Amino acid sequence: MASNRAVTYVGPGEVQVNEIPFPKLELVNGPGVHPANIGRKCEHGAILKVVTTNICGSDQHMVRGRTTAPEGLVLGHEITGEIVELGRDVEFLSVGDVCSVPFNIACGRCRNCKIGQTGICLNVNPDRPGSAYGYVDMGGWVGGQAEYVMVPYADFNLLKFPDRDQALEKILDLTMLSDIFPTGYHGAVTAGVRPGSTVYIAGAGPVGLAAAVGAQLLGAAAVIVADMNPSRLEQARSFGCETVDVSQGDPAEQIEQILGVPEVDCAVDAVGFEARGHGDHAGHEAPATVLNSLMDITAAGGGIGIPGLYVTDDPGGVDDAARKGALSLSLGTGWAKSLSFATGQCPVMKYHRELMHAILRDRARIAQAVNATVISLDEAPAGYAEFDSGASKKFVIDPHGLISA
């Protein structure tokens, strides 16, 4: 049996690459595994040799100590891999297939899965609807920043690439299908972006940049990306976005300089619960800042897509309310302007096949937009540290050296 190494959470600010058990077609006890899931048989699953697995901003929330993630949790929910073993009940996949793994774990059988709401599957997490690999309070499914990983409900979850050689040639783009490309696109779709729209995207991290690419695919006339990190703003400009530096003050004034009016048709929150203030307050955490500013600058009747992560337990929150996920929102502004809001996990399977074809036919160069940067598994701790410092890069872990080869 092959060995298996993985990136594990050690404590606030620290991850390590450690030996972990080779995956089985069964959910076994381990850090973060819900007791009700221990011993769960997965003959419907597949074991994958990981081709690529990415570091995500959602991982960083845990690594910063901003969640209740347990020590030893195997990280990683953005996975692309080659099938090396199939469970008895898998019918439509074969050993050797290269597939994208949606970060949502979904059974395909419950009422939510049957209507495409795979981000809130009812059967994979005993605590609440929805689950993901390598994430706190998500049922304990082992993460994929590893050499090998088990994927349950393989026939339903896995997106097989049509041609192996073509997939490996475009792997840096295709690896984004597991999460950030569909998630950013979902933010744009749920905000109501359509041909000719003006859209404001808060946050120029990988999800924000993916939302910008998504808005461009949807035909937006102007895509404005906001951040306070100069290198991330430069990255947004590199593929045709306008930018706003929120450290310089009120976004509305800068939007007016770009569009001639201080508002946009729709907006996307790609920041989440660790948001910081604008202008003179830019250095201080203010978790409601982004949502309140989006309500101010979105035109009446517009929409706000919220793919940015919000949590119910934030031990590092700025006050008692924030530690429970309660924010001081100006909901009256949203009500008065008849704004719509869309929150929650992106249902990746709703979008990933179409986005795959956009990549394969050179309609979307998402790797270039997010500055995909390949590192080895052993370099993952350094990658986490560099990403946390604000580097304008999307780190892609290559556990087996397949990309460099």
What average pLDDT score do residues 102-109 get? Answer: 97
Does residue 307 surpass a pLDDT of 80?
Answer: yes
Domains 5-179+347-397 and 183-343 share a fold: no
Please report which confidence band the pLDDT of residue 97 belongs to, taking 50, 70 and 90 as the band edges.
very high
The per-residue pLDDT for 282 is 74
Phi and psi, residue 187, nearest 5°: -60, -40
CA atoms in the 13 A half-sphere facing the CB of 147? 14
Q: Identify the burial level of 243 via C-beta atoms within 10 angstroms of its C-beta, where 0-12 means exposed, 13-18 middle and 19 or more buried.
A: buried
What average pLDDT score do residues 109-124 get? Answer: 97
Please report which confidence band the pLDDT of residue 249 belongs to, taking 50, 70 and 90 as the band edges.
confident
Does residue 281 surpass a pLDDT of 80?
Answer: no
What average pLDDT score do residues 94-123 get? Answer: 97
Does residue 158 surpass a pLDDT of 80?
Answer: yes
The topology (CATH level 3) of 183-343 is: Rossmann fold (3.40.50)
Does residue 85 surpass a pLDDT of 80?
Answer: yes
The per-residue pLDDT for 322 is 81
The per-residue pLDDT for 45 is 98
The per-residue pLDDT for 279 is 77
Residues contacting residue 240 through CB under 8 Å, at least 6 positions apart: 216, 223
Q: Which two tokens stand for residue 217?
A: 């695919």
Query: What is the Rg, in whole angstroms, of the alpha carbon atoms belonging to the chain?
Result: 20
| Of 214 and 280, the one with more pLDDT | 214
The per-residue pLDDT for 205 is 96
Q: Return the percentage of the chain with pLDDT > 70, whole number.
A: 100
Q: What is the largest CA-CA distance in the chain?
A: 64
The per-residue pLDDT for 405 is 66
The amino acid at 99? C
Q: What's the mean per-residue pLDDT of the chain?
A: 95
Alpha-carbon gap, residue 310 to 218, rounded angstroms = 26
Per residue in 196-236, pLDDT (tens digit) is: 999 999 999 999 999 999 999 999 999 999 999 999 999 99
Q: Return the percentage of the chain with pLDDT > 90, whole number.
A: 87
Rounded alpha-carbon distances, angstroms, from residue 60 to 77, 155, 288: 12, 30, 19
| Of 163 and 3, the one with more pLDDT | 163
The per-residue pLDDT for 277 is 81
What average pLDDT score do residues 27-44 get? Answer: 94
Q: Which two tokens stand for residue 134?
A: 């390598």
Sign of CA dihedral 329, 331, 336, 339: positive
What average pLDDT score do residues 145-168 get? Answer: 97
The per-residue pLDDT for 50 is 98
Q: Which two tokens stand for residue 264?
A: 């946009």
The per-residue pLDDT for 385 is 96
Please report which confidence band the pLDDT of residue 325 belongs to, taking 50, 70 and 90 as the band edges.
confident
The per-residue pLDDT for 1 is 57
Number of other CB atoms surrounding residue 248 within 10 Å: 13
Tell me if 67 sits within 8 A of 314, measured CB to CB. yes
The topology (CATH level 3) of 5-179+347-397 is: Quinone Oxidoreductase; Chain A, domain 1 (3.90.180)
Domain ranges in the chain? Answer: 5-179+347-397, 183-343
Per residue in 329-349, pLDDT (tens digit) is: 999 999 999 999 999 999 999
Task: From 40, 176, 31, select the one nearest 102 (Cα to Cα).
Answer: 176
